[in-house]
Structure 1
Amino acid sequence: MPRLGERSPEITGAEIVAELVPPPQFEHASFESYRPDHDYPSQLGAVDKLHTFSALWSVQRPGGFFSRSRKVKAELPGIYLDGGFGVGKTHLLAALWHEAPGPKYFGTFIEYTALVGALGYQETITQLRSAKLICIDEFELDDPGDTMVMTRLLGELVSTGTRVAATSNTPPNSLGEGRFAAADFLREIQAMSSNFETVRIDGLDYRRRNASGQATSVEKEDLEHMVTVLQKRHSNFTEDNFGALMRHLGTVHPSKYVKMIRDVEIIALTDVFLLTDQTDALRLVAFIDRVYDAEIPIIASGLPLNEVFDAEMMSGGYRKKYQRSQSRMVALTTGELPPHAD
């Protein structure tokens, strides 16, 4: 039986960097394919702002981005998309990435911090230094250490001409739906805040998704039957005991999770249980992010996956991270993976 717990892939710095592209569902995202809600003019306004931001690449002079000889208005090197869940921030971020010349990189905050963890700070700078654009989706504001590392990293890259675009990590049902995210973002990246223009995007979750939904859990006997069917179909699936998988994730650097699930079509998990260790919980969040980006459905027995974080975690400093992961677990186990994420 194929198991994720038997996969310990090796991955080079170049391979990690090569994975910094938009998820498959945004492979063809463009400003033209974005469908603004005309009840919220800020959505169309955000498209106009990003058009202006991207247009500057076509008018740069040999003197560089900050050249005094430029005949166009100097724009800030950073742009921050501030809005609630489901208003299309990630779509617009990916559309901007597609407009930019290379080299360019697109990843979540967690992916960039994992890159630093895997390569070290100086090697990360070396790998990213030539970038024309760095896109950071779901900028995390709940870990001061990681935020300081990212602020320093972005400061060094911007000083050499790299431009930066970011979104916040506002989850479903978050108080204010991101209304205070901009102030939080600028405060936390204080050393870089003057380099960012904030673009507010109002609106409703266009999927009208029920954020309070429940992850699907099946009886263990039913899961075993499903696995038998998958075997007969020769599907590329894996089956792991949840506890064994959690132990294995502790032995694999999060930067390798993307390679760990490569070519997997379905993930089966047995005997899901409540997590009480925050380190384990954060590893699971990072793993679920990669599974969600790869759009791999999960079938699971035991505790519904969105209930694995204990009450102390859900009331602590990482609750936004856990809330986002819960929403993704619901989508992964119910077959409600959206055609486009936030």
Structure 2
Amino acid sequence: MSDTFSRYQSLVDSGEISFDPAQAVIAKRLAALNAELGDYRLARRKSGALSWLFARGEKREPVRGLYIWGEVGRGKTMLMDLFMAASPVRRKRRAHFHEFMADVHERIHIYRQKLKAGEVKGDDPIAPVAADLAEEAWLLCFDEFSVTDIADAMILGRLFGRLFEEGVVVVATSNVVPDELYRDGLNRALFLPFIKLMQERMAVVKLESRTDFRLEKLSGRPVWLTPLGPEADRSMDEAWSRLTGGARGEPAELPVKGRHVPVPRQSHGIARFTFSELCEKPLGASDYLAIAHTFHTVMIDGIPVLRGLARRNEAKRFITLIDALYDNQVKLVASAGAEPMGIYLNDEGVEAFEFARTASRLIEMRSEEYLALPHARRPHNVGDTGGIVET
């Protein structure tokens, strides 16, 4: 298994990405961490998680994770992809942070229901929840680490304190330095010990990359390709290759409220669907929000012209989908049968009125100003959403 830096260098050598000194520095840090995790894994096998800390009668320092922060579009997600692919750890989990916390709150709720039914003992659910999480994965990797919710802020210190005691190692990417987390949040003073804990258990490094690669790959290029046909198909394939650095992409699933939304192709924070897969299937707002929160760019192939009331349901889903993408500042690349104003041809029903707003949003989403916006990823409540599950 090649290390993170070797994988990064291979992408550079193949021409899939351009060499960036700042990215190379982080890739080397991640490669060193993976090497340390390999030793940690062997120690765990021999003596158990907590015994690792007391090997040969001496207390040893636990493995410090990594907190990588920097501006949007600098390659943090790509580097996390490489790190996860090279990781020797089998019990590992990668999730967007808000989805992870939604899962935590769901587990807490289930514990309290069991407590009420007399099935478990103990008033504090944090310890058993942390133990279960640690049993499932002792390497936790978070994309876009941010804290905006007071319910999250108030339990993070205790939760992560227990996770670290269980021997869990954490790697995270974020757009902000730890000291800026939950800035101006309610009762922030109660949150500050968590920041200190993170800085003790995770090395904080900034990705000082030279440019916003995401914007660079979209700027000045058409993102709404019409009419449908072989030329649009070729342009979509070229856009995928450009955005992902030539990655093939893998299928995945997004857990939403006990169900799984299939993602036919995803890589580097980019997902690709057909219109049929998104709007001709029984998907709803929660599903589209999960997509919008997970991926910074969505590609949609084959948006047809929707004519009359017979395509009303597809139009309603498309409106909901675009609202979710727009509200979370997700970038959209699509091939379509017409310009936005000509996609839904129907004068009856509320959808006809609502689609005018959708068309306006689609036009705005093609602008340089919109493409330069960071991925918002507003917190949502989709139930037991635990992050991407590759299939």
Task: Calculate the TM-score normalised by the size of structure 1.
Answer: 0.54
1:59 Cα shift? 2.8
1:29 Cα shift? 9.8
Structure 1 window deviating more from structure 2 (46-55 vs 71-80): it is: 71-80
Q: Is the counterpart of residue 80 in structure 1 residue 67 in structure 2?
A: yes
Count of equivalent residues:
246
Q: Tell me the distance in 1 between the aligned counterparts of 2:222 and 2:148.
A: 25
1:104 Cα shift? 0.9
2:141 corresponds to: 135
2:89 corresponds to: 101
Question: What is the percent sequence identity of the aligned residues?
Answer: 21
- Does the CA contact (< 8 Å) of 1:103 and 1:133 recur in 2? yes
1:196 Cα shift? 1.7
Q: Is the counterpart of residue 161 in structure 1 residue 167 in structure 2?
A: yes
SS in 1 for 2:292: helix
1:292 Cα shift? 6.8
- Does the CA contact (< 8 Å) of 1:54 and 1:96 recur in 2? yes
1:135 Cα shift? 0.5
Q: 1:124 to 1:31 in 2, by over 3 A?
A: farther
Residue number among 290, 297, 304 corresponding to 1:286 in the alignment: 290
Letter in structure 1 aligned against 2:217:
R
1:119 Cα shift? 2.9
Letter in structure 2 aligned against 1:255:
V
Q: Tell me the distance in 1 between the aligned counterparts of 2:206 and 2:60.
A: 21
Structure label with greater radius of gyration: 2
Residue number among 318, 326, 331 corresponding to 2:329 in the alignment: 326
Once the two structures are superposed, what CA deviation does each residue of 1:246-283 show, in whole Å capped at 9, x if it has no partner? xxxxxxx973386144669524678xxxxxxxxx9998
Q: 1:304 to 1:294 in 2, by over 3 A?
A: closer
Letter in structure 1 aligned against 2:94:
F
- Does the CA contact (< 8 Å) of 2:153 and 2:182 recur in 1? no
1:51 Cα shift? 1.8
1:47 Cα shift? 1.6
- Does the CA contact (< 8 Å) of 1:114 and 1:254 recur in 2? no
Task: Calculate the TM-score normalised by the size of structure 2.
Answer: 0.48
1:166 Cα shift? 0.5
Residue number among 27, 31, 34 corresponding to 2:8 in the alignment: 34
Once the two structures are superposed, what CA deviation does each residue of 1:183-223 show, in whole Å capped at 9, x if it has no partner? 324976425222221111111233413479997599xxx9x
If asked which structure has higher relative contact order (CA below 8 Å, sep 6+), I would say: 1
SS in 1 for 2:83: helix
SS in 1 for 2:79: helix
1:108 Cα shift? 0.6
1:173 corresponds to: none
2:34 corresponds to: 54
Q: Tell me the distance in 2 between the aligned counterparts of 1:89 and 1:295.
A: 20
Letter in structure 2 aligned against 1:192:
L
Q: Tell me the distance in 1 between the aligned counterparts of 2:21 and 2:60.
A: 24
Gap regions ≥5 residues in structure 1: 1-27, 171-179, 227-252, 271-279, 310-320, 337-341
Residue number among 110, 117, 131 corresponding to 2:98 in the alignment: 110
Residue number among 107, 122, 130 corresponding to 1:125 in the alignment: 130
Letter in structure 2 aligned against 1:286:
A
2:246 corresponds to: none
Q: 1:294 to 1:77 in 2, by over 3 A?
A: farther
1:39 Cα shift? 7.3
Q: Is the counterpart of residue 181 in structure 1 residue 177 in structure 2?
A: yes
2:256 corresponds to: 255
1:103 Cα shift? 1.1
Letter in structure 2 aligned against 1:101:
V
1:144 Cα shift? 2.9
- Does the CA contact (< 8 Å) of 1:87 and 1:205 recur in 2? yes
- Does the CA contact (< 8 Å) of 1:81 and 1:167 recur in 2? yes
1:266 corresponds to: 274
1:89 corresponds to: 76
Q: Tell me the distance in 1 between the aligned counterparts of 2:177 and 2:286.
A: 22
Once the two structures are superposed, what CA deviation does each residue of 1:27-53 show, in whole Å capped at 9, x if it has no partner? x99442325788753322212211221
Q: Tell me the distance in 2 between the aligned counterparts of 1:165 and 1:89.
A: 11
